Amino acid sequence: MLTFVGKRLVYVAPVAIGVSIVCFLLVHLAPGDPLSAILPVDATQETIEQMRAAYGFDKPLPVQYALWLWRVLQGDLGTSIATGRPVIGEVGRAVVNSLILASVATLIGFAFGTFFGFVAGYFRNSPLDRAASAIAVFGVSVPHYWLGMVMVIVFSATLGWLPPTGAGPDGSGNWRPDLAHLRHLILPAITMSVIPMGVIARTVRALVGDILSQDFVSALRAKGLGEFGVFRHVVKNAAPTALAVMGLQLGYLLGGSILIETVFAWPGTGFLLNAAIFQRDLPLLQGSILVLAMFFVLLNLAVDILQTALDPRIERG
Amino acid sequence: MSPETEPLVKVENLAVAFRGGVRAVDGVDLTVRRGEVVALIGESGSGKSVTLRAIMRLNPERTSRVEGRIRVAGQDVMALPKRALADFRGRTVAMIFQEPLLALDPVYTLGRQIAEAVRRHEGVSEAEARARALAMFERVRIPSPERRLDAYPHEMSGGMRQRAMIALALACRPQLLLADEPTTALDATVQIQILLLLRELQRELGLSAIFVTHDLGAAVEVADRIAVMYAGRIVEEGSARQVVLSPQHPYTVGLLKSRADGALAKGARLVTIPGSPPDLARRPPGCAFAPRCPLADEACRRDPPVVSPAPGHRAACWRVPGADAAEPAQRADAA
Ligand SMILES: Nc1ncnc2c1ncn2[C@@H]1O[C@H](COP(=O)(O)OP(=O)(O)O)[C@@H](O)[C@H]1O
Ligand SMILES: [Mg+2]
User: Which is it for strands B37-41 and B225-230: parallel, antiparallel or unpaired?
Assistant: parallel
For residue B81, pLDDT over 90 is answered with yes
Give Cα A269 to chain centroid, integer Å: 9
Give dist(CA A304, CA B43) in Å, integer: 46
For residue A6, pLDDT over 90 is answered with no
Q: Name which residue leads in pLDDT, B315 or A314.
A: B315
How many angstroms separate the alpha carbon of residue B41 from the centre of ligand 1?
A: 15
For residue B333, pLDDT over 50 is answered with no
- A vs B, Cβ pairs < 8 A, gives 75
For residue B70, pLDDT over 90 is answered with yes
The residue contributing the CA closest to ligand 1 atom 5 is: B18
- Of the candidates B83, B95, B102, the beta carbon closest to that of A222 is on B95
Q: Name which residue leads in pLDDT, A275 or B54.
A: B54
Domains (range + CATH), chain B: 9-92+174-261+269-334 (3.40.50.300), 101-173 (no CATH)
Q: What percent of chain B has pLDDT over 70?
A: 91
| DSSP output for B112-155 | HHHHHHHHHHH---HHHHHHHHHHHHHHTT-SSHHHHTT--GGG
What does the pLDDT read at residue A117? 93
What does the pLDDT read at residue A46? 81
What does the pLDDT average to over A138-147?
83
What does the pLDDT read at residue B300? 87
Residues 158-177 in B contacting A (C-alpha not used; CB under 8 Å):
168-169, 172
Give dist(CA A303, CA A177) in Å, integer: 27
Does the CB of A218 have a partner CB in chain B at under 8 Å? yes
For residue B335, pLDDT over 50 is answered with no
With CB atoms and an 8 Å threshold, state whether A220 touches B105. yes
- Enumerate the domain spans of chain A: 96-316
What does the pLDDT read at residue B11? 96
What does the pLDDT read at residue A90? 86
What does the pLDDT read at residue A316? 57
Closest among B149, A83, B308, B15 to A93, alpha carbons compared: A83
With CB atoms and an 8 Å threshold, state whether A226 touches B86. yes
With the C-alpha atoms ordered A240, A206, B107, B90, is the resulting torsion angle positive or negative? Answer: positive
Which atom of ligand 1 lies closest to the CA of B46? 21
ipTM for the assembly: 0.87
With CB atoms and an 8 Å threshold, state whether A224 touches B88. yes
User: Which is it for strands B64-72 and B75-76: parallel, antiparallel or unpaired?
Assistant: antiparallel
Distances in whole angstroms, Cα of residue B200 to Cα of each of A115, B141, B192, B195, B296: 48, 12, 12, 9, 42
Give dist(CA A260, CA A269) in Å, integer: 11
Pocket test for ligand 1, best of B16, B22, B255 (most atoms within 8 A of CB): B22
Average pLDDT value for chain A: 83
With CB atoms and an 8 Å threshold, state whether A226 touches B103. no
Instruction: Confirm or reject: Cβ of B278 under 6 Å from ligand 1.
Output: no
What does the pLDDT read at residue A37? 61
Give Cα A143 to chain centroid, integer Å: 17
For residue B213, pLDDT over 80 is answered with yes
Chain B residues touching A220 at Cβ < 8 A: 105
What does the pLDDT average to over B81-108?
94
For residue B271, pLDDT over 70 is answered with no
Instruction: Read off the pLDDT of residues A177-194 as tens digits, 9 standing for 90 and up.
Output: 777 777 888 888 888 899
Instruction: Read off the pLDDT of residues A94-105 as tens digits, 9 standing for 90 and up.
Output: 888 888 888 999
Report the range of poorest mean pLDDT among A224-228, B228-232, B318-322. Answer: B318-322
For residue A296, pLDDT over 90 is answered with no
Chain B residues touching A224 at Cβ < 8 A: 86-91, 117, 120-121, 172
Confidence band, pLDDT 50/70/90 cuts, at residue A125? confident
Local structure of residue A286 (DSSP, 8 states): H
How many angstroms separate the alpha carbon of residue B48 from the centre of ligand 2?
A: 6
Instruction: Confirm or reject: Cβ of B24 under 6 Å from ligand 1.
Output: yes
Report the range of poorest mean pLDDT among A209-223, B52-66, B180-194, B236-250. Answer: B180-194
How many angstroms separate the alpha carbon of residue B59 from the centre of ligand 1?
A: 10
Residue type, A165: T
Residues pairing with B233 in the sheet: B230
What does the pLDDT average to over B33-41?
95
What does the pLDDT read at residue B108? 94
What does the pLDDT read at residue A31? 61
Please give the CATH number for the structural domain made up of A96-316: 1.10.3720.10
Looking at the CA of B60, name the nearest ligand.
1
Q: How far is A9 from chain B (nearest CA, A)?
A: 26
What does the pLDDT read at residue B208? 95
What does the pLDDT read at residue B332? 43
Top-ranked range on mean pLDDT: pick from A13-22, A64-73, A216-225: A216-225
What does the pLDDT read at residue A260? 85
Instruction: Read off the pLDDT of residues B127-153 as tens digits, 9 standing for 90 and up.
Output: 999 999 999 999 999 999 999 999 999
Residues pairing with B70 in the sheet: B11
Give dist(CA B176, CA B47) in Å, integer: 20
Distances in whole angstroms, Cα of residue B36 to Cα of each of A177, B52, B206, B211: 71, 16, 8, 11
For residue A211, pLDDT over 50 is answered with yes
What does the pLDDT read at residue A171? 65
Ranges of H-type helices in A83-226: 87-122, 127-141, 144-151, 179-212, 215-222
Confidence band, pLDDT 50/70/90 cuts, at residue A307? confident
Chain A residues touching B107 at Cβ < 8 A: 236-237, 240, 310-313
What does the pLDDT average to over B295-321?
89
For residue A298, pLDDT over 70 is answered with yes
Which of B50, B95, B105, B170 to mutate against chain A (most A CBs within 10 Å)?
A: B105
Give dist(CA A103, CA B183) in Å, integer: 50
What does the pLDDT read at residue B334? 39
- Of the candidates B91, B106, B108, the beta carbon closest to that of A224 is on B91
